[in-house]
Amino acid sequence: MNTTTLASITRLNPVSRTLPVLLAMEDDAEDVGRLSPDDRMTCHVHGRWIHQCVASPMHVNPITRHRWCRSCAIALTVSVDELSGIVTMSCPGCGHGESAASDRLIVACQASLAAARAQAAARVA
Ligand SMILES: [Zn+2]
Ligand SMILES: [Zn+2]
């Protein structure tokens, strides 16, 4: 796929940023070092919006502390409120377990939730 053409099409028409399009764009941006994996709104492992698969055990990482409580050594529970667009993570053991990595993941999830909702709204209109 020609990325230059893809980029110019999506710039002209933001509504055409469907999940597969955005997924490909984020893959390309990540490959050339323009996008940090932490800031992605899509997941290249699951091929979904990040908020749709963040609850998967694959998104837990004890080393980087994504979705991980170091004190309790257990994964954080994710709650995605599709209505309010609010994403929270907390440790089922101590109720806390925050980390900078998880905070970034939450920001990415909320961005993907907003993007998915904009997509849905565009389809209806
Ligand atoms: Zn995923
Ligand atoms: Zn904990």
Which pLDDT tens digit goes with each residue over 49-88? 999 999 999 999 999 999 999 999 999 999 999 999 999 9
Centroid of ligand 1 to alpha carbon of 52 (angstroms)? 7
Phi, psi torsion values for 78, nearest 5 degrees: -100, 140
Centroid of ligand 2 to alpha carbon of 62 (angstroms)? 12
**Dist CA 50 CA 108 (whole Å):** 7
pLDDT level of residue 103 (50, 70, 90 thresholds): very high
Q: Where exactly are the structural domains of the chain?
A: 3-124
> 95: helix, coil or strand?
coil
Ligand nearest to the CA of 40: 1
Centroid of ligand 1 to alpha carbon of 24 (angstroms)? 15
**Dist CA 5 CA 85 (whole Å):** 32
Centroid of ligand 1 to alpha carbon of 56 (angstroms)? 7
Residues above pLDDT 90, as percent of the chain: 79
Mean pLDDT for the stretch of residues 16-28? 92
Residue 59: predicted pLDDT: 98
pLDDT at 106 over 50: yes
> 75: helix, coil or strand?
strand
| Both structure tokens of 23 | 């997924």
Centroid of ligand 1 to alpha carbon of 69 (angstroms)? 19
Residue 90: predicted pLDDT: 98
If 0-12 CB within 10 Å is exposed, 13-18 middle and 19+ buried, where does residue 38 land? middle
Residue 30: predicted pLDDT: 97
Task: Mention every residue, 6+ apart, whose C-beta is less than 8 A from residue 38.
Answer: 101, 104, 105, 108
pLDDT at 97 over 50: yes
Lowest mean pLDDT among 10-19, 89-98, 115-124: 10-19
Residue 120: predicted pLDDT: 85
Phi, psi torsion values for 75, nearest 5 degrees: -75, 145
Centroid of ligand 2 to alpha carbon of 73 (angstroms)? 7
Centroid of ligand 1 to alpha carbon of 94 (angstroms)? 25
